[in-house]
Amino acid sequence: MKVDLDIISPSLWLPNYKKTIIVAGPCGAETEEQVMQTAIELSKNNQVQIFRSGIWKPRTRPNSFEGVGTVGLKWLQQVKKETGLLTTTEVATAEHVEQALKHNIDILWIGARTTVNPFTVQEIADALKGTDIPVMVKNPVNPDLNLWIGALERFNQAGIKKLIAIHRGFSTLAKGVYRNAPMWSIPIELKLLIPNLPIICDPSHIAGKRNLLLDVIQKSVDLNMDGFIVEVHNNPDAALSDAKQQVTPNNFAEILSRIIYKTEDSDNVIFDHQIQELRNIIDRVDVDLIEAIAKRMEIVDKIGEHKKENNVTILQMERWFEVLNTRTGKGESLGLDKTFLTRLFDLVHEESIRRQQEIMSNANKEQSID
């Protein structure tokens, strides 16, 4: 089901709009010199449109660097004056909003730790009523798409139409290579539900390490996302927060030069022809797949009838484990992923049980009529 949001495309409000929106700047503003040096270097690359910097930093543990506070807003004003870059900062309270608006910050962003809390989101949305400042909303820390959508809805209902979602990955118990698991299916689902909502990627908070940045950016570009927000610092190793994931403006320029951009369609006739042929094959394979599933379900029904007649239970654990093991084994030998196979056969099994339950319950009904 679609979610209806009243959104104005950034192509209509972002000066110097480009198909890929690029936001860059330090995790946090630390000194005027650090902010200005980073911004001046970044502004030399004409792909960068927006300068980011946290002024109030939400830190997991106390006694870490919590941001320079309001004084940093003046540095951002200076950045805009000297480089022409638009500015953005994170707001987490109504007071932050008031200060940011007073200092003419161009765009606000809502952090992942704020999106999880509808009370705080509503407080910020209320503080924004009557303004038309653009707001970028990061996904919540936990993989809950509805919380993300809920926050976007609260801003939209407060009259904010210039909305952008930021995909920054999710906290999970399992420790993978990334700091925050990207779970790409969640932003993809968001795009399917709200197609007019631009989504940009935050590879810095997904990756957590410099050497994985390009890889994550490339993945987001391959998914046709609308841009990215990257943490760039003039001296990353000395950064007071998120040092490991920040890069110098030079490293960032290098990363930008290595991204391979793709288009949704191609005007190359040979390519179009080849892809059409492959899609025709896929169409046929999918029909075979559906027919095979229908055939399987037909047999499942027959077994159901047979169980009913012989008063045998629907679920036989041993048989199910045997099915699961042999099918995942076969699939793996053909290069398919075990988790995928398990999910697929769980689904098939669930449906088989549902059908046999229906057969049994029809039997029960017939008996009670008799």
Footprint of ligand PEP on this chain (CB under 6 A)?
A: 27, 54, 58, 111-113, 138, 168, 205
Alpha helices in the chain (DSSP H): 10-13, 32-43, 71-83, 94-102, 112-115, 118-128, 145-157, 185-193, 203-207, 213-222, 249-258, 269-309, 317-333, 338-369
Q: How far is the CB of 58 from ligand PEP (least distance, A)?
A: 6
Tokens describing residue 324:
């699961």
Which DSSP symbol is given to 236? G
Q: How far is the CB of 203 from ligand PEP (least distance, A)?
A: 11
Is the separation of the CB atoms in 141 and 110 below 8 Å?
A: no
Q: Which is nearer to ligand PEP, 58 or 118 (CB)?
A: 58
Q: Which is nearer to ligand PEP, 127 or 240 (CB)?
A: 240
Q: How far is the CB of 225 from ligand PEP (least distance, A)?
A: 16
Q: Which residues bind Mn ion (CB under 5 A)?
A: 27, 242
> Closest-CB residue for ligand PEP?
111
Residue 28 has phi, psi (to 5 degrees) of: -130, 150
Q: Which is nearer to Mn ion, 27 or 86 (CB)?
A: 27
Question: Position 205: which residue type?
Answer: H
Q: Which is nearer to Mn ion, 27 or 141 (CB)?
A: 27
Tokens describing residue 304:
């159901």
Using alpha carbons, select from 261, 260, 228 the residue that is nearest to residue 247.
228
Q: How far is the CB of 205 from ligand PEP (least distance, A)?
A: 4
Alpha helices in 144-248 (DSSP H): 145-157, 185-193, 203-207, 213-222
Q: How far is the CB of 250 from ligand PEP (least distance, A)?
A: 21
Q: Which is nearer to Mn ion, 123 or 242 (CB)?
A: 242
182 binds, among Mn ion, ligand PEP, none (CB under 5 to 8 A by kind): none
> Closest-CB residue for Mn ion?
27
